[in-house]
Amino acid sequence: MLDLLDINIVDAALYCLTGAFAGFAAGLLGIGGGLIIVPVLFYIFSTQHYDQQYLMHMALATSLATIIITSISSTLAHHKKNAVLWHTVILLLPGIGLGSWFGASFAARLDTATLKPLFGIFEIFVAILMISQYQSKQHQRSIKTINGFIGGGLIGSISAIVGIGGGTLTVPFLHWHRINIKNAIATSAACGLPIAIFATASYVFSGWNMSSDAPDSQQNLFGFVQLQAFLLIAASSFLFAPLGAKFAHSISDVLLKKIFSVFLLLLGLKMLLS
């Protein structure tokens, strides 16, 4: 039987602080918070009694589950400012759905030793891409249907593998199509919801046998989702996401891109070198 109240107070505090910071980052940078949540959860779970080979799977799945809540809060805040390009969200949705499900299914077959460096390398790559301010001047201004499906598929699959809401890919993808950075961030926040839903469902399905057979000390699992971490992080991130979104609309585009880039670079190096 689940005992969600039986939790170490230090772990509970870390979950809440992580959620607050992740929620603020979600609103500010258009990310689902996974860039913060995944590494923190990995280290917290490693101090508990979980099977070491599933630590990254749990961190990824729990991160994505919290992003379902975070993205709703962040998207509503951006929508109030008329910044979300809903026609673009709909265009990317089919590819995102398929990519997220199959990306999570693929990640479930990898071990933690493989997933951990992949996460770090991914963050560093995107940080360098953003810092370089790469943008093809020859690329079309509008996103065609086929580009939306392929782009959405890649965004969804990679996001599911690294446990994020897709902002680190969606924002550069939209900006590459010459969409204003603030609109790109707002639209990315909206795209994070279907990514999180499909990927979380896939991780729950893939980890169902593992969680159902776990000993009593590990029963706060729903597939690969750790329920205590999910509830506390989701609650605090939901409260802080609107603050980040509000702040995002009060600073310059250039500063916003620098924050986004440096943030990814530091986290990527931390995960890769630790």
Question: CB-hemisphere CA count at 13 Å for 35?
Answer: 32
Average pLDDT, the chain: 83
The pLDDT confidence band at residue 253, using thresholds 50, 70 and 90, is low
Query: Average of pLDDT values for 106-115?
Result: 90
Query: What is the rounded distance in angstroms from the CA atom of residue 106 to the CA atom of residue 108?
Result: 5
The four Cα atoms 241, 72, 77, 40 give a dihedral, to 10 degrees, of 20
pLDDT digits (tens, 9 = 90+) for 62-105: 999 998 888 887 788 889 889 899 999 999 999 999 999 999 99
At residue 43, the pLDDT reads 87
User: Which SS3 state, helix, strand or coil, does residue 30 take?
Assistant: coil
Alpha-carbon torsion 55, 124, 106, 15, what sign? Answer: positive
Residue corresponding to tokens 């990679």: 158
**135 Cβ contact partners less than 8 Å away, ≥ 6 residues apart:** 175, 176, 178
Cα separation, 163 vs 145, in Å, equals 26
CA–CA distances in Å: residue 269 to residues 34, 120, 192, 265: 15, 6, 24, 6
- Among 40-44, 47-51, 216-220, the minimum mean pLDDT is found in 216-220
Whole-angstrom distance, CA of residue 187 vs CA of residue 253: 15
What pLDDT score does 29 carry?
67
Q: How confident is the model at residue 22 (pLDDT cuts 50, 70, 90)?
A: confident
Average pLDDT over residues 99-125: 90
Positive or negative torsion for Cα 77, 79, 82, 84 = positive
Which pLDDT value is given to residue 215?
55
- Considering only 28-32, 76-80, 167-171, 185-189, which range has the smallest mean pLDDT? 28-32
The pLDDT assigned to 201 comes to: 96
Whether the predicted pLDDT of 3 surpasses 90:
no
Contact 37, 22 (CB under 8 A): yes
> Which residue, 75, 25, 34, is CA-closest to 193?
75
Residue 5: what pLDDT? 63
Strand, helix or coil for residue 132: coil
Report the pLDDT value the prediction gives residue 239, as an integer from 0 to 100: 84
Tokens of 46: 């490693």
Helix (H) / strand (E) containing 217:
none
**Chain segment 219-247, per-residue pLDDT in tens:** 688 999 999 999 999 999 888 877 877 77
Whether residue 147 is predicted with pLDDT greater than 70 in this model: the reply is yes
- The type of residue at 133 is Q
Residue type, 251: I
More confident residue, 109 or 27: 109
